[in-house]
Amino acid sequence: MSELEPERLRPLLRGAFGEQYLYAVETDSTQDVLRDGDHPHGTVALAEHQTAGRGRSGRSWEDAPATNLLFSLLLESPADARIPQLSLVAGLAVASALEREAMVPALVKWPNDVLIDGGKVAGILLEATGSRVVCGIGINVNQVADDLPPTPRFPAISLRVAAGRRFDRAAVLVAVLAELEHRYEQWLEIGLAGLADDLERRNALRGRRVIVGGSHNGTADAIAADGRLTVVLDDGRTTLVGSGEVEIAGT
């Protein structure tokens, strides 16, 4: 029996996120499980394996069955322009929880990845329809190095590779859900500005060379209070960019 089956997971939950829990051994994408239907805020859909897992920008999200965490969380969020900030809220929550579980430093790579030792340990995909946001999270947990997908754009890492031991995936999931709930409540009450210091401490891009709008070179700086990235351009100007407008030089 998998440690992620509902009977095993439910007693461990620390908050409301995950109380509604849809578990599958296999599905196409957990994003689609929550996209339609009448699921309440905080519902989690999780699969041991996805046959059509997707990442950002039309990429696929490959997995090694039953060794990682693949889940989506339904958020009924106030429908306003701040919804894209949720990828940073989720990134901060995942980084904090993984760092605590694995006892290795975890950073947020603006706008939606979590890094350990410079490798991508988790990715976040937000899909919103009005106020209904499906926040998909893939975390590399127990893969050995050979199981990790080759990522030409960015190296991948798992908690197991980073910490040198296997993890109980239920414990990791419960820790991540509790942190997601805590950070989401903070964001609702005080906005991203309330998370700014914690985000900045985990800002993996600060100091990295970036290209803005395909042609302007610069250096990434702080994550701004509205969630955009500050970039100091080589011509001396400072600009704020959204997620589609910047790429890391050399990737």
Q: What is the nearest approach in angstroms of ligand BTN to the Cβ of residue 16?
A: 20
Q: Which two tokens stand for residue 189?
A: 């009450």
Q: What is the nearest approach in angstroms of ligand BTN to the Cβ of residue 26?
A: 13
Q: What is the nearest approach in angstroms of ligand BTN to the Cβ of residue 112?
A: 6
- Tokens 């001396």 label which residue? 236
Cα distance between residue 184 and residue 100, in whole Å: 18
Residue of closest CB approach to ligand BTN: 123
Residue type for position 155:
P
Q: Using the minimum distance from each CB to ligand BTN, give the nearer residue, 58 or 236.
A: 58
List contacts with ligand BTN (CB under 6 A).
29-31, 50, 53-56, 59, 61, 70-72, 113, 123-125, 136-138
Q: What is the nearest approach in angstroms of ligand BTN to the Cβ of residue 114?
A: 9
Q: Using the minimum distance from each CB to ligand BTN, give the nearer residue, 5 or 62.
A: 62
Q: Are strands 238-241 and 113-116 parallel, antiparallel or unpaired?
A: unpaired
Q: Which two tokens stand for residue 6?
A: 């509902």
Cα distance between residue 218 and residue 38, in whole Å: 45
Q: Using the minimum distance from each CB to ligand BTN, give the nearer residue, 234 or 247.
A: 247
Question: How many other CB atoms are there within 10 angstroms of residue 158's CB atom?
Answer: 26
Q: What is the nearest approach in angstroms of ligand BTN to the Cβ of residue 217?
A: 25
Closest CA to 95 of 83, 109, 76: 109
